[in-house]
Chain A
Amino acid sequence: MAVARELPETGPRTRRWRRTQAFARNRTALVGLVMVALLLLIAIAAPVLSPHSPIAQSTIHRLEPPSREYPFGRDDFGRDILSRVIYGTRIALLVGVLSVAIGGVAGTVMGVVAAFRGGRVENWLMRLTDVLLAFPDLITGLLILAVMGPGLWKMIIAIALTITPRFSRIAHGPALSVKQRDFVDAARAIGVGDLRILFRHILPNIVGELLVLASLWTASAIRLEASLSFIGLGVRPPTPTWGQMIRDGTVHLTNAPWFSLFPGLALLLTILAFNLVGDGLRDALDPKTQA
């Protein structure tokens, strides 16, 4: 029995199964996954879940403290903060997921193409990557948004651009090492094309690492969106965004602390959820941490 356990398990299926098991055993990751699922649900069902309209104003009730009817209180226009927090999930997830999808695909393509083409293309692409990586994400995002002006799609593109070099750096290394492995030579020898090699042999080998990066960067993208909104570069009102709400609330921190604190709590939990998933994925994929 003990001996059977010591036998090396081989083949992709057993390996994948073991990783899945490791991920499931990792309770923090599971908590993160449940939280992400809940957030998605909240974003989709926002109109059903919101007790009030997120934009209906009522100035005589401005800055009312939390009550049974309005559990998170009201903001400076008398709007229901709970409903606005619920609707804010939409912008946060939309920006987080789309910017990572765009930046992730662009970066991965950049890194893999650089590894495959080699030579001058590789040199230039990776140099560009390094230069872009030198800048903190917030500063890059700020500069791009400052020049382009505010807007939902501009926000997504600005964040995607800051994410692109992170993926190209991560995708490049493994793509390079997989490219030099014998099975790729073998595939090429029997006449398999570049694209097929890419999809059949390169991507499956780096997909785990890319998934970890994707969930950690979704967390960062959501943080970035909120930070940029907080600075005042976000999507324009009346669309509720957490960063904007926190910003508007700072003025009333002494007389109406709930105004900033509740949207901030939602933001914190959302970022935490994606970080938990990314961390759990990394632990499950990394054989070293399982020892």
Chain B
Amino acid sequence: MLRYTVRRLLLAIPTLLAVLTIIFVIVRVAPGDPATAALGDYASEEAVRALRQRMGLDRPLWQQYLSFLADLLRGDLGKSLITGQPVVDQIRHVLPYTVELTLAAIVVGLVIGIPIGIVTAIRRNTLVDYAGRVVSLAGLSVPAFYLGILLIYLFAVRLRLFPALGAAEFSKPGAHLHALVLPALSLGLIEAAYVTRMTRSVVLGVLHEDYVRTARAKGLPERIVLFGHALRSAMIPLVSLIGLFAISLIGGSVLTEEVFARPGLGKLMIGAMKQKDYTMLQSIMVVYAIVIVVINLLTDLLYGVVDPRVRYE
């Protein structure tokens, strides 16, 4: 396991480097000058030149690239072009909100998705199965921001059960959790649709395996065949899917935070984009890149734990 872990860690480094390079290239080499974009078309030439110098845009590209990487290694994400505050501080402030939202959504997705997936697989081609499939396909088709709006309309505007917008401080746990319910549902229900489909197809696949037939043939009760044999091995592929879900949730969380006006990484990114704060935008992308690479890494390691065969490849 240790060798596998080390090898996997070493493999993550070139991937991360490649992603960072792509971010750098897109932000720097793209048409249009970040300094001009930040200041607007009517800015004086001196102002643009001063900002270019402050951003280091007047140096050769390879120097910019090296200092971009060097700053990252030191944990320096630069200063916001708009507020002048260190980007790291702002990200550190909002990150807990995004992490909390994502975790809550994963819980919602698994708690709803796995049981429905199992039931629709076992009762294949019955009314339950059709209903489950239609609902999950609808769940896959509803955009994250529209589901958020529907939930706000139903539960905040009409029923007045939950606050429509914003998030409460972490110091007030009651109000905080209350404000988390709708965003977590909005993000989690879509995830539940994915989980349902995945679980269903994985369980269907397992139910056709020889050892399940053997277990039935030797007269084991269906309950033991299902929970003791079939579902245990069906959980292995599902573990690796949790990583995939977490990554797709990152995309969804951007929209959810925007709809619910919740503080978070996504909201910060959209704000940075509107204000043309390129340092901030680039840094948030870097944070996303690191998070994604780490999630992939953890998923692979977890997979190595639940399925020992993986390690010997």
Report A's interface with B, CB cutoff 8 A.
Answer: 28, 127-128, 130-132, 134-139, 142-144, 146-149, 219, 223, 226-227, 230-233, 246, 250, 253-254, 257, 260-261, 264, 267-268, 271-272, 275-276, 279, 291
Contact = CB atoms under 8 A, between A and B. Distances in A.
What does DSSP make chain B's interface, helix, strand, loop or mixed? helix
B194 interface: no
Nearest to B273: A146
Contact of B143 (A130, A144, A233, A268): A268
B48 interface: no
B131 interface: no
A227 B273 contact: no
Contact of A254 (B18, B157, B289, B296): B157
B143 A226 contact: yes
Nearest to B164: A253
Given A142-B269, A142-B273, A232-B274, A275 B255 contact: no
6 contacts: A127-B18, A136-B248, A226-B146, A246-B146, A272-B138, A275-B137
Given A231-B258, A257-B157, 16 more contacts: A28-B134, A128-B18, A130-B15, A134-B296, A135-B289, A136-B251, A139-B288, A143-B281, A144-B26, A148-B30, A230-B145, A231-B255, A231-B273, A264-B150, A267-B146, A271-B141
Contact of B142 (A130, A261, A268, A279): A268
Nearest to B130: A28
B30 A250 contact: no
B145 A138 contact: no
A246 B149 contact: yes
Overall SS of chain A's interface: helix
B296 A227 contact: no
Contact of A134 (B26, B27, B143, B293): B293
Q: Chain B interface: which size bin?
A: 35 or more
A136 B146 contact: no
A271 B30 CA distance: 31
Interface in B230-275: 247-248, 250-252, 254-255, 258-259, 269-270, 273-274
A155 to B, nearest CB: 15
A276 B269 CA distance: 33
Nearest to B133: A28
A135 B288 contact: yes
A131 B138 CA distance: 30
Given A147-B27, A226-B143, A250 B138 contact: no
4 closest Cβ pairs, A-B complex? A136-B251, A138-B251, A272-B141, A147-B30
A253 B259 CA distance: 12
Contacts of B259: 250
Contacts of A139: 250-251, 254, 285, 288
Contacts of B269: 142
B69 interface: no
B144 interface: yes
B240 to A, nearest CB: 15
B22 interface: yes
A172 B296 CA distance: 22
B255 A253 contact: no
Nearest to A226: B143
B37 to A, nearest CB: 8
A233 B273 CA distance: 9
Nearest to A270: B141
B38 interface: no
Contacts of A276: 137
Interface in B273-296: 273-274, 281, 285, 288-289, 292-293, 296
Given A143-B26, A250-B259, A134 B145 contact: no
Interface in B130-165: 134, 137-138, 140-146, 149-150, 152-153, 157, 164
Given A143-B285, A146-B273, A250-B259, A136 B250 contact: yes
A139 B252 CA distance: 9
Contacts of A253: 149, 152-153, 157, 164
A230 B258 contact: yes
A17 to B, nearest CB: 24
